[in-house]
Amino acid sequence: MFFKKNHFYLRVFFIFSVFSMVMTLNLCAQEALLYIRKSFFNIQEQSLKDTISKRIGSDYPFIIGYNYSSITNNESSHPYFRENKWTNGSLVHQGISYPVGGLRYDIEIDKLIYLRYGKDNTMNCVALDENFILEFSILNSTFRYYKNLKNDSGKKLKAGYYEVVYDGKLKFLVRSEKLKTMNDFNSSTEMFLLKDGIVESVSSMGKLIKQLKDKEKVVKEFVNKNSLKLNDSDYSAAFKVLRIYENL
């Protein structure tokens, strides 16, 4: 009887030991599986980040500049070209044109601003280096970086981005600036005709016509017939006049 009782306890102990062993192995297997899954996830995550980094480097090589704090002033008080909104556009980097979303042009500091999304869905603003971005288009306007413009007396104009209104043998350029006062921004606009490597300041249609002396009579007739006006808030007429002039 004593033997039977001990035998019963041994059986219980054996079953409990096997059960404990099975549970321990099962837990170890689960932990190992969890570790493998976690390692696999980490590898995949790093691979994705590396892929994004490589893609940014290859697809967006123009991202060269410095961190920029975006201005969030209201619509009437901001340093940006026309409006205080991110918009689509394009830019030229090393002779290649890239369509780009998330652009603003800060005309106070004369920098093209790019809204960049980081690896962790963070957003950073980058003021792009003008030495690498020689031309860009935004809000139906094209800008080109000039640094050696001179007038007929040899005086250099300010280096920077100029809006290219007309881009033929002659070029009509507009320089827009915003200077910050105490609580607002004051805008200024200057217009220029680039002819034979020399820039001439143009403030009215009459001054533009005077620069086209060889065909002045025909151009003047065209201007009068179409009632074309030119001022620093509307210089679209310059495009029509110069297109007609170069096609005469």
Range of weakest confidence among 52-56, 101-105, 139-143: 52-56
Report DSSP letters for 84-102, one per residue.
SS-EEEEEEETTEEEEEEE
Element (H, E) at 62: none
Model pTM score: 0.74
Q: Is a pLDDT exceeding 90 seen at residue 131?
A: yes
Residue with tokens 């060889």: 214
68, 92, 126 from 179: Cα distances, Å: 18, 27, 21
Summarised one tens digit per residue, pLDDT across range 204-245 is 999 999 999 999 999 999 999 999 999 888 899 999 999 999
Q: What percent of the chain has pLDDT over 90?
A: 59
Which residues are CB-neighbours of 59 under 8 A, at least 6 positions away?
Answer: none
- According to DSSP, the residues that pair with 116 across neighbouring strands are 124
Taking the C-alpha atoms of residue 53 and residue 118, their distance in angstroms, rounded to an integer, is 9
Which residues are CB-neighbours of 148 under 8 A, at least 6 positions away?
Answer: 156, 159
Which residues are CB-neighbours of 113 under 8 A, at least 6 positions away?
Answer: 68, 70, 103, 104, 105, 106, 125, 126, 127, 128
Taking the C-alpha atoms of residue 192 and residue 232, their distance in angstroms, rounded to an integer, is 11
Please give the pLDDT value at position 106: 95
Residue 108 · residue 180 · CB < 8 Å: yes
Please give the pLDDT value at position 37: 61
Which stretch, 45-54, 173-182, 190-199, has highest mean pLDDT? Answer: 190-199
Taking the C-alpha atoms of residue 58 and residue 142, their distance in angstroms, rounded to an integer, is 25
Q: Is a pLDDT exceeding 60 seen at residue 199?
A: yes
Please give the pLDDT value at position 44: 52
More confident residue, 5 or 26: 26
The two tokens of residue 187 are 């805008």
Q: What is the mean pLDDT of residues 177-196?
A: 86
Query: What's the whole-number average pLDDT of the chain?
Result: 83
Please give the pLDDT value at position 180: 78
Residue 141 · residue 89 · CB < 8 Å: no
Burial of 166 (0-12, 13-18, 19+ CB in 10 A): buried
Taking the alpha carbons of 50, 56, 59, 65 in that order, is the dihedral positive or negative?
negative
